[in-house]
Structure 1
Amino acid sequence: MPRRCRAAETAGGGSPRRVLAAALTVLVLLSGAACGSRLPESDFTGRDGASRPMPTRAEPLRVGIVTSATSPVGGEAFTGPREGATAYFDRLNARGGVDGRRVEVHTCDDGGSGVGNNECVRKLVDEQHVVALVATAVLDYAAAPRVSAAGVPDIGGQPIGPAYETYPHLYSIYGSLAPRTGGKPGWDGKLYGGTEVYRYFKREHGARTAAVVSYNQSASAAYARLVAQGLRAEGYDVVTEQVDFALPNFRAVAADLKERGADLVFDALDGHGNARLCAAMDDVGAHVTAKVTNAQNWTDTVRDAYKDAPRCRNSLWVTGSSRNYEDTGNPAVREFRDAMKGRPLSQWALEGWAAAMWFTDAAKSCTRAEPETGATRACVDAYMERGEPYSADGLLVPVTFEHLQKPPETRKSCLSVARWRDGEGWVTQGDMNRNCFVVPQLAYEP
């Protein structure tokens, strides 16, 4: 069983991976969840990974999983990657581990705070001496500088903030081309994302008019502007709608969407707001080609969450960079689902499974290269930096890590697409390795 440690919680003040991945950050900010602060850097002085004894082949391989399991945005918002990763390691250990060496999983809930995140990293890196962090999914990655300074590879984390585009040794599940030298995120503080999602709906479904719905809240409005920018770059007529965060009138928005004849609806709303918007769209008869959401909402809870909006529910589409967890014709997906019996199914859980597989492939490579010591932090990190695309047995659109000094102006980008159908669930739309487009890369500030 995984070993669990509970980080300290503190009260705090209330307060995009690609362009669409920014949605999660916005939803977090909408909930007023930026809490806690960093621990003093002096607390970490002298605790680098090189100071501990060299591991031996007799020891288990220790990995850490940090999750904001009890964050202010809800108990299940961030737990999918952890569930997928622990399911993978359970099955791996049942089959003998990494060349006979068991993987010992240490999980830690950081409570969604910066202080809690630092405490989790202190315990896992300095006390448990984990070889790597895997499938990180946290609200405030305050300890990212500490992880990087210790040379601990963080593999397959969800890029909820800019840390994975800033620091070396951090490897998001979606890859990165940024320099990642530890200074400003991306390229001089700017990140870049493609317009492949908008290109897809224009090419495959002839969409021409798109609506973007946001709250009158700064983070939500900023993300909505980013989506609108990408849509306009692809030639769409863009309709912008905004509702009051405290007292949203979704019915008025839905009525205007119907009047304006929107083909697509994108949003910068939380999950609850999305469901209410869909219900309002059904009430007024606003029918669209697609109500587009993101991978965080790619779950098996749609039936319940959208129970009051059957028509809108069946117009839900989702895009991402990993194979649909409902694609049971794929053997890698079948293995994932078999191991996940009794655990909630979601796209983030599949990506957590892929992250654990990524670490395991790195560890096996190290065992072959360094038979005396097996996997070490440095060896695992070198595997991640080898410059070869990784697909987790076909579960991921091939992921690459490079350190480009200038951002690309265009890039070939592929995406996984699914739509919801009652009685079938999420139905895959085309092969994710063929849903590809050469698209412009647009700048934004995280």
Structure 2
Amino acid sequence: MRPFRGAEPLLPAALAVLVALSAACGSRLPEGDFTSPPPAATPGAPPIRVGVITSATSPVGGEAFTGPRDGALAYFAALNASGGLDGRRVEPLTCDDGGSGAGNHTCVTELVEQRRVFALVATTALDYAAAPRVSRAGVPDVGGQPIGPAYDTHPHLYGIHGSSAPRTGGRPGWNGVLYGGTEVYRYFRRTHGARTAAVVSYNQPSSAAYARLVTRGLRAEGYRVVTEQVDFALPNFRAVAADLRVQRPDLVLDALDGHGNARLCEAMDAVGAVPTAKVTHVQNWDSTVPDQYRKSPRCRNALWATGSSRNHDDASHPAVRAFRAAMDTHARGVTTRSQWQVEGWAAAMWFTDAARSCLAGPGGLTRACVERFLTRREPYTARGLLLPVRFEHLDRPPRTRRACLSVARWRDGRGWVTQGDMNRNCATVPQLGYRP
């Protein structure tokens, strides 16, 4: 569970030392299967090169972070198949940084300095150690997943969720403090009458710290909070589930890895301790639920996910249909469908829309022009796939903010079912500070 929208990206980093994160599992092909040359756009027109850096292999397990890459590559493949960007192919160059700072520097050296990509798109790096180098080079990084604080620190970096921080390249946020809202908790309290929440974590520093952050947000919204902790080496989820049956929380949230989530659900099913909502985070908002939670049907059907992008299972929306069709056609072998794929697709669209606006103007395609598009006053929604994204530079953090939320619930036989209009699941909530 991600306590504050502003804190959401920190979850993978907080759990990096835990067992393999299973948020994005499923069959995948090597990166080369995405890069077969599409039909030529305009003969002789030079391609527009963009870099896609991904921690495809990392300490948290292979393929945990590949969703944004898969979505972005599918978008560019579909774009090129339809004639490219105003007649020019977009050539995505991928690099796996291995989830390490050293590997991240190697990728930036290869893509930015050697291959001289025009921009980075949909960066998903466990340790974005080379972010200062990208910023100094003036290379726009469009729609990256803010796993750490880099996108709230450096200019020229534009995370998929937007930012209001000064971003001067010094300390993250406002003097080292980031802020986020409590809209997730407000939603369940207001819409479902939730009053009691349980937070489950490991007795491991990163997990425990994250659980404290969740607890703080819940208490700010008036919840009675029950905290549960399991031993990381020998977790006794059955004991936690037994206590949850006694405490009877409306919500169960966690600071666990994917494997721990599945085991917790099994234990809850076994003792009959299934709450109104078992709230998971956006990384687990994917199509692997039937397999991951196959031993816990009641808990499985109590799974809820929240985020900032339109439900990837909502085929009633034309932009989602376009995403799914392109994934089926151009991402052969990627059998999982996930929310992070949608956000990678949206990041590629965002870059393309920015570049197209520049090609239509008198100055042509320049990095400065792309950044003017990214920082314009009009929020960006990627044809309705994203909640409005905006970049602004506020000298002081806001005390409150109107925030909206995309919500879905798992239902066997139906998949992830959208709960309300994400542009109307909104509330004015407090902004609470935390240090990344």
For the criterion TM > 0.5, the same-fold answer is yes
- CA contact 2:18–2:60 (8 Å) conserved in 1: no
**Whole-angstrom CA distance in 2 between matches of 1:354 and 1:125:** 22
Q: How many residues are matched?
A: 406
Residue 147 of structure 1 aligns with which residue? 134
Counterpart code for 1:317 = W
- CA contact 2:9–2:148 (8 Å) conserved in 1: no
Query: 2:426 aligned with 1:436, yes or no?
Result: yes
Query: 2:280 aligned with 1:290, yes or no?
Result: no
- Match of residue 86, structure 1, among 65, 73, 93: 73
- Percent pairwise identity: 71
Residue 399 of structure 2 aligns with which residue? 409
**Whole-angstrom CA distance in 2 between matches of 1:229 and 1:340:** 39
Counterpart code for 2:422 = M
- Match of residue 274, structure 1, among 253, 261, 279: 261
- Match of residue 12, structure 2, among 12, 19, 24: 24
Query: 2:350 aligned with 1:363, yes or no?
Result: no
1:316-341 CA distance string (max 9 Å, x none): 00000000000000000000000001
Change (3 A) 1:113 1:19: closer
Query: 2:95 aligned with 1:108, yes or no?
Result: yes
**Whole-angstrom CA distance in 1 between matches of 2:16 and 2:428:** 31
Mind listing any 5+ residue stretches in structure 1 that lack a counterpart?
1-15, 34-56
- CA contact 1:153–1:171 (8 Å) conserved in 2: yes
Residue 46 of structure 1 aligns with which residue? none
- CA contact 1:21–1:294 (8 Å) conserved in 2: no
Tell me by how many angstroms 1:387 deviates: 2.7
- CA contact 2:128–2:150 (8 Å) conserved in 1: yes
Counterpart code for 1:124 = L
- Match of residue 352, structure 1, among 344, 348, 351: 344
- Match of residue 190, structure 2, among 184, 188, 203: 203
Residue 214 of structure 2 aligns with which residue? 227
**Whole-angstrom CA distance in 2 between matches of 1:438 and 1:409:** 10
TM-score by length of 1: 0.89
**Whole-angstrom CA distance in 2 between matches of 1:97 and 1:20:** 34
- CA contact 2:12–2:126 (8 Å) conserved in 1: no
Q: CA RMSD in A?
A: 1.4
3-state SS of the aligned residue for 1:98?
Answer: coil
- CA contact 1:199–1:234 (8 Å) conserved in 2: yes
TM-score by length of 2: 0.91
Change (3 A) 1:393 1:32: closer
Change (3 A) 1:161 1:155: same
Query: 2:388 aligned with 1:398, yes or no?
Result: yes
- CA contact 2:17–2:60 (8 Å) conserved in 1: no
Tell me by how many angstroms 1:31 deviates: 4.5
Tell me by how many angstroms 1:20 deviates: 3.4
- CA contact 1:131–1:375 (8 Å) conserved in 2: no
Query: 2:366 aligned with 1:376, yes or no?
Result: yes
Tell me by how many angstroms 1:98 deviates: 1.0
**Whole-angstrom CA distance in 2 between matches of 1:191 and 1:364:** 33
Most deviating of 339-348 and 178-187: 339-348
3-state SS of the aligned residue for 2:8?
Answer: helix
1:235-291 CA distance string (max 9 Å, x none): 000000111111111000011011011110000000000000000001111020000
Tell me by how many angstroms 1:32 deviates: 9.7
- CA contact 1:17–1:175 (8 Å) conserved in 2: no
**Whole-angstrom CA distance in 1 between matches of 2:231 and 2:428:** 37
Tell me by how many angstroms 1:308 deviates: 0.9
- CA contact 2:355–2:370 (8 Å) conserved in 1: yes
3-state SS of the aligned residue for 1:105?
Answer: strand
Tell me by how many angstroms 1:17 deviates: 5.2
Tell me by how many angstroms 1:191 deviates: 0.5
3-state SS of the aligned residue for 2:127?
Answer: coil
- CA contact 2:200–2:255 (8 Å) conserved in 1: yes
Residue 238 of structure 1 aligns with which residue? 225
Counterpart code for 2:369 = C
Counterpart code for 2:405 = L
Change (3 A) 1:84 1:264: same
- CA contact 1:17–1:159 (8 Å) conserved in 2: no
**Whole-angstrom CA distance in 2 between matches of 1:152 and 1:78:** 22
- CA contact 1:65–1:134 (8 Å) conserved in 2: yes
**Whole-angstrom CA distance in 2 between matches of 1:230 and 1:302:** 27
1:143-201 CA distance string (max 9 Å, x none): 00000000001011111001001000101100000000000000010100100000000
Residue 299 of structure 1 aligns with which residue? 286
**Whole-angstrom CA distance in 1 between matches of 2:283 and 2:293:** 15
Tell me by how many angstroms 1:106 deviates: 0.4
**Whole-angstrom CA distance in 2 between matches of 1:21 and 1:235:** 24
